[in-house]
């Protein structure tokens, strides 16, 4: 009986160890797949690619957009479209959101008809170089490179620079504005507060009861693969050192970044600030759903800063 008990005990230990090891390997494989999907280049459908081409043609033909390129401090070549206006009173740099491309911003020349505009693709998006997006960590360098381009280009170097950032672009813009001089005012549209909280929210929705275990595994693997932690992408830290006027725009129906996120950012910013909350739109769709009021409010904000 003693020998049987020991044999049974070792079998249980062996089987448990195999199950545990298999679960860890499977979890790591799933986490690596999830990280690659979240940070790798987006593959767009044929319909979406056609839409991008149509929007680009619109920008080139109707607004005389000029294809431009500029390089980041970590040597990535970024692609942009520059729209110059006769008698422009300012330059406007527009930073798109996660998985968006510059062509999705084709309504901005309509919203801001008197301004020079620079639309560009963040790293690992659209026509810009880069294998991975860092969802706001290195994208600060993209914004800084775009700002430097405006500061040195013959058609824009003598005008004040303003910025609009959408979602990931908002966090990147805020981070860049805190690290470099050059913006007179910025607009944060549909910004999230902390990337770590964003990830936790997505894990809970996708993996339900296994969310906490998978989250812990994925975060450790993310740090190993990406060489930075989710906690380092923190708009609240950036907000503490904001020195320029900031307009924050958010929707009560934003299911990606809760309204509480932008309220935290707003409360943290020490500089001049304003908050516009809308009810009839969703995450990163306000500029499309509320075009007239969007253009009116942002232009009014820019004018108040310029005075």
Instruction: Show me where the domains of the chain are located.
Output: 1-39+203-228, 43-194+233-306
- All residues at 6 or more sequence positions from 40 whose CB lies less than 8 Å from its CB, including other chains: 124, 131, 132, 133
DSSP state of 233: -
Residue 271 — very low, low, confident or very high, per pLDDT cuts 50/70/90?
A: very high
User: pTM higher than 0.85, yes or no?
Assistant: yes
Query: Is pLDDT of 97 > 60?
Result: yes
Q: Counting beta carbons within 10 angstroms of the beta carbon of residue 197, is it exposed (0 to 12), middle (13 to 18) or buried (19 or more)?
A: middle
pLDDT of 53 over the 90 cut: yes
> Which residue did the predictor score with more confidence, 256 or 6?
256
Rounded-to-integer distance, Cα 257 and Cα 194, Å: 10
In the prediction, which pLDDT does 15 show? Answer: 67
Which run of H or of E encompasses 100? none
Is the confidence at residue 245, as pLDDT, over 90?
yes
100-122: average pLDDT: 97
Token code pair at residue 175: 């981070």
Confidence (pLDDT) at 199: 85
Average pLDDT of the segment spanning 271-300: 96
* pLDDT greater than 60 at residue 208: no
Q: Which CATH superfamily is domain 43-194+233-306 in?
A: Alpha/Beta hydrolase fold, catalytic domain (3.40.50.1820)
Q: What is the pLDDT of residue 6?
A: 67
- Give Cα 101 to chain centroid, integer Å: 11
Average pLDDT, the chain: 91
* pLDDT at residue 212, as a whole number: 74
Q: How much is the pLDDT for 33? A: 82
Kindly state the percentage of the chain with pLDDT values over 70. 88
Residue 210, pLDDT above cutoff 80 = no
Residue 20: pLDDT over 60: no
- Bridge partners of 162, per DSSP, are 92, 185
Q: Alpha-carbon distance 40 to 99, whole Å?
A: 10
Q: What is the pLDDT of residue 2?
A: 53
């Amino acid at each position: 009986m003693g020998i049987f008990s020991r044999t049974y005990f070792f079998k249980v230990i062996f089987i448990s160890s195999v199950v545990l090891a298999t679960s860890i390997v499977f979890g790591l494989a799933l986490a690596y797949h999830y990280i690659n999907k979240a940070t790798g280049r987006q593959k767009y459908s044929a319909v979406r690619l056609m839409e991008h081409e149509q929007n680009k043609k619109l920008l080139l033909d109707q607004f005389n957009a000029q294809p431009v390129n500029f390089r980041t401090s970590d040597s990535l070549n970024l692609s942009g479209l520059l729209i110059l206006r006769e008698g422009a009173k300012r330059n406007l740099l527009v930073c798109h959101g996660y998985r968006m491309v510059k062509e999705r911003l084709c309504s901005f020349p309509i919203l801001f008809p008197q301004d020079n505009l620079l639309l560009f693709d963040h790293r690992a998006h659209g026509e810009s170089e880069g294998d991975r997006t860092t969802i706001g960590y290195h994208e600060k360098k993209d914004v800084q490179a775009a700002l430097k381009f405006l500061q040195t280009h013959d058609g824009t170097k003598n005008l004040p620079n303003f910025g609009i950032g959408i979602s990931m672009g908002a966090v990147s813009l805020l981070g860049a504005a805190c690290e470099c001089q050059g913006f007179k005012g910025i607009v944060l549209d549909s910004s999230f507060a902390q990337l770590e909280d964003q990830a936790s929210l997505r894990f809970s929705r996708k993996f339900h009861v296994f969310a906490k275990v998978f989250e812990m595994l994925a975060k450790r693997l993310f740090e190993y693969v990406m060489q930075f932690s989710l906690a380092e992408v923190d708009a609240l830290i950036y907000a503490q050192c904001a020195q320029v006027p900031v307009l924050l725009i958010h929707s009560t129906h934003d299911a990606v970044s809760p309204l509480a996120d932008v309220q935290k950012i707003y409360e943290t910013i020490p500089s001049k600030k304003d908050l516009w909350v809308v009810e009839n739109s969703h995450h990163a769709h306000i500029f499309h759903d509320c075009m007239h009021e969007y253009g009116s409010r942002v232009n009014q904000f820019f004018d108040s800063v310029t005075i």
